[in-house]
Amino acid sequence: MEEEADTGVSSRAERKALEKAKILKRESEKKIFRLVGRVLKKPEAERSEDEAAVLLLHRETVDELCKRQVRRNVLKRKQEEVFDDADELKSKVRQLAMAVKQAKHVVLYTGAGISTAASIPDYRGPNGVWTQLQKGRTVSSSDLSKAEPTLTHMCVRMLHKEKLVQHVVSQNCDGLHLRSSLPRHALSELHGNMFIEVCTSCTPVREYVRLFDVTERTSLHRHGTGRRCSHCGGELRDTIVHFGERGTLEQPLNWKGAAQAAEMADVILCLGSSLKVLKKYACLWSMNRPASKRPKLYIINLQWTPKDVLAVLKIHGKCDDVMSLLMEELNIQVPVYDRAEDPVFSLAAPLRQEEVDSHTREVIAPLDGQEDCLPGSGEQAEEATAVQGGWFGRGYGKGRKKKKKAA
């Protein structure tokens, strides 16, 4: 028994000694990395003999720090916004216009970049949500219901109306494609729509379009909005597909329409998207076909995208600027967004009396501004505050968690 006890004590002591040795080794490595890092920051001519000896002694650390710096520089270049000069931009737009005219089936993939002109921030641009969080800055936003369709949204609608674009696949949750009067059968909102809540207890799924952002109480894996279906009494849920989730709703996601459009496409035009998420959806890219039989890819974005190497043409310009030139080349008049014709008012379902105060988000008001006549106009949101709740705030929360973990 005494021998067993001695063995137990010995093994515990060995484990502790081993753990201590590991900790000391990590601390030693950190000190070496810090020392070498300080030396590398100095110009070579200003380094002392001792510092030069340190670099020679720790060649592996030097190599690792140099590799890290190269990766940082590459990432920085990818995040930089590049602008084509005026002449180059016009030349590229002419090429794009020719491709659109000659194509039989054009599909548009749109991202956050088409909504920045509506004061909705993107994620990876210089002022994007992720970018600001990485710099340790607070992300704020006014109620996103205040946004209206941009020039690009109206151009997209007209391209579809003129039968030059057959389908639009959007990553955006802001509902601006729908509000621009783009027909729903021609639209796939892959990540949901902030104005739509549904009852999944009903068969088929029952949809309720609202005049306010329904995502106030929702987040990752928690989609209940707090309101009830007027037909079966089941809890309503939002349609947002958060980071790490897989969308299963037929509408407004319309994955079937997106996949069929991608299969038929001979031209894909990507507008204002980093494509870092869309690239993961294999069914949108026909990568199972030989390169010569895939759709021709055109990209309009200021920053690098992972699909640039596959693109026939990359246009570095703001979406509104490029689309304005494109519509001129195609000789198509672009209407200004008219709130009086916004389909959201005719689609909207009124709240029940007991649900009038079930939200605090701002309600989209008609032109006369008489918000008290709108269904469920409840208390309104106040001045712009730090982003909280909902699909937009979810990204904010995710970014903060990453930042804390890194720290």
List the binding residues for Zn(2+). Answer: 199, 202, 229, 232
Q: Closest Cα partner for 238 from 227, 223, 226?
A: 223
**Rounded distance, CA 352 to CA 227, Å?**
9
**Rounded distance, CA 228 to CA 234, Å?**
6
Token couple for 376? 């469920």
* DSSP code per residue over 358-379: S--SPPPP-TT--GGGSTT--S
**Rounded distance, CA 227 to CA 199, Å?**
10
CA-to-CA separations, 298 to 87, 96, 107, 108, 233, in angstroms, rounded:
18, 8, 11, 10, 47
Measured in degrees and rounded to the nearest 5, phi and psi for residue 369 equal 75, 10
Token couple for 30? 């950190």
Q: Closest Cα partner for 218 from 233, 247, 238?
A: 238
Amino acid symbol at 298 = Y
Q: Are 380 and 363 in contact (CB under 8 A)?
A: yes
Exactly one of 153, 160, 167, 191 is catalytic; name it.
191
Q: What is the 3-state secondary structure (H, E, C) of 181-250?
A: CCCHHHEEECCCCCCEEEECCCCCCEEEECCCCCCCCCECCECEEEEECCCCCCEEEECCCCCCCCCCCC
Q: Are 178 and 148 in contact (CB under 8 A)?
A: no
* DSSP code per residue over 104-125: SSEEEEE-GGGTGGGT---SSS
**Burial letters 322-355, b for 16+ CB under 10 A, else e:** bbbbbbebbeeebeebeeeebebbebbbebeeeb
Q: Verify whether residue 191 is a known catalytic residue.
A: yes
Q: Closest Cα partner for 279 from 153, 392, 190?
A: 190
**Hey, which residues does 348 pair with through a beta bridge?**
209
3-class secondary structure, 140: strand
CB atoms < 10 A from the CB of 401, how many?
10
Residues flagged as binding site: 199, 202, 229, 232
Catalytic residues: 191
